[in-house]
Amino acid sequence: MGRKKTEEGGGNTKVKPGKDVSGKREKLSVSEMLASMDQKSDKPRKGSSSLSGGAKPQAKAPKKVVAYTDGIDLPPSDDEEEEIVKAAKRSGSRAQQEKVKDRAKFAAAKEASKNKSKGKVDEDGPLPEAPRKWRDYSVEFHFPEPTELTPPLLQLIEVSFSYPNREDFRLSDVDVGIDMGTRVAIVGPNGAGKSTLLNLLAGDLVPTEGEVRRSQKLRIGRYSQHFVDLLTMEETPVQYLLRLHPDQEGLSKQEAVRAKLGKFGLPSHNHLTPIAKLSGGQKSRVVFTSISMSKPHILLLDEPTNHLDMQSIDALADALDEFTGGVVLVSHDSRLISRVCEDEEKSEIWVVENGTVEFFPGTFEEYKEELQKQIKAEVDD
């Protein structure tokens, strides 16, 4: 090794690079030593008191640019990030460059997330997919083909009826009949007795006068606007239907019932839900399923569109059009009545008014026109 070469002057000791002169240099504080060492290497050294010779001085590591806003550590701006990248390249430190890359990726991901939450679209990125329309659910009402019965299926002959303790209401001289294929729309003012007439046809009310004739094998499917009273709230739809209609075909009676409920638009997760927790529309689908399972010859429908959506009303109209049995309908939905009474030869309009039932000599469309004329005349007077 070479000799130590020192130059003294002015109380200072100069040391040539690569030479170690112990006890001849200024005393440095620990913090100053660490700062000096950090400038020469990107790896921090702890507790070292000697300097390695021949090392090139390295550029200062760029300071992390941090802004504090309510405790949130924000990433550096684009200009600051560019300066950091340049400094990292000058330093030649791979570890520092990796840190810069990781920080840039994090900043880009954070900015993209913020733009997404604000609804911004990246012009360079792929366009977002257009929202897809929800597929309409499938609903198919169906009433099975009834067995043939010899007419007349059902008749009211010179029937009169009045409620006890109600002198203001009475139906008199009712003479009507229903056969296979008959289509009847019962119309008239509210409170005139349309629902009462349906109850007389169904056998729920007994006439005070007159005669009711029914075929022995006649099966009637009844939908009442108060159908909720017919349901057992603590039972599930499957339990309710299996109790009323225990004879089901197939290996699993429960699955057979669930298949029928599904066709009438009741979601599968509601099949085993207590009826009390179902909505009005869902309860109505349980009733329609029960009617279908009873295999009726005649349908007596009192406001059947209550709680049904438009798709279900259309499905009901299609099912009634295909049904070969008799249909008697009370409804405020003129569109449904027009569908049911489309065939003029099979259709009848029964007008309940002034305590009796009369036949309207025309189609339902003509009845509506006549009604509009009467309303206009009353307004003009």
**pLDDT > 80? residue 286:** yes
User: Span 100-116, mean pLDDT?
Assistant: 66
Mean of pLDDT values over 329-344: 93
Q: Measured between alpha carbons, how far is 80 from 166 in angstroms, rounded to an integer?
A: 91
pLDDT in tens, 51-65: 444 445 555 555 544
Lowest mean pLDDT among 26-30, 113-117, 257-261: 26-30
What pLDDT score was predicted for residue 13?
45
List, in order, residues 6 or more apart from 16 with CB less than 8 Å away: 5
- Predicted local distance difference test score (pLDDT) of residue 114: 61
Helix (H, G, I), strand (E, B) or coil at 65: coil
What is the share, in percent, of the chain residues with pLDDT greater than 70? 64
Q: What is the per-residue pLDDT across 74-100, written as a single tens digit (0 to 9) for each?
A: 555 556 656 665 665 565 556 666 666
**Between 269 and 107, whose confidence is greater?**
269
State yes or no: pLDDT of 116 exceeds 90.
Answer: no
Q: Which residues, at least 6 apart from 88, have a Cβ–Cβ distance to it below 8 Å?
A: 62, 96, 97, 99, 100
136-172 as b/e: b if 16+ CB within 10 A: eeebebebeebeebeeebbbbeebbbbeeeeeeeebb
Q: Phi first, then psi: what are they for 328, rounded to 5°?
A: -120, 125
Percent of the chain scoring above 90 in pLDDT: 49
What is the reported pLDDT for 168? 86
Q: Which of 94-98, 125-129, 157-161, 170-174 bottoms out in mean pLDDT, i.e. has the lowest?
A: 125-129
Bigger pLDDT: 69 vs 88:
88
The count of other CB atoms within 10 Å of the CB of residue 111 is: 14
Of residues 240 and 111, which shows the higher confidence score?
Answer: 240
Sign of the CA dihedral with 193 first, then 194, 195, and 198 last: positive
Average pLDDT over residues 273-291: 93
Judged against a pLDDT cut of 60, whether residue 16 lies above it is answered with no
- Identify which has the larger pLDDT, 117 or 222: 222
pLDDT for res 119: 53
Q: Which amino acid is at 78?
A: D
Q: Under DSSP, is residue 9 helix (H, G, I), strand (E, B) or coil? A: strand
User: Which of 243, 219, 221, 249 has the alpha carbon at shortest distance from 231?
Assistant: 243
Written as one string, the DSSP assignment of 251-286 is S-HHHHHHHHHHHTT--GGGTTS-GGGS-HHHHHHH
For 303-320, what is the mean pLDDT? 92
Range 124-145 average pLDDT: 66
- What's the pLDDT at 373? 87
Q: Would you give the end-to-end CA distance of the chain in angstroms? A: 132
The structural domains of the chain, ordered by start, are 61-108 (no CATH), 154-380 (3.40.50.300)
pLDDT at 314: 93
Length of the chain as a residue count: 381
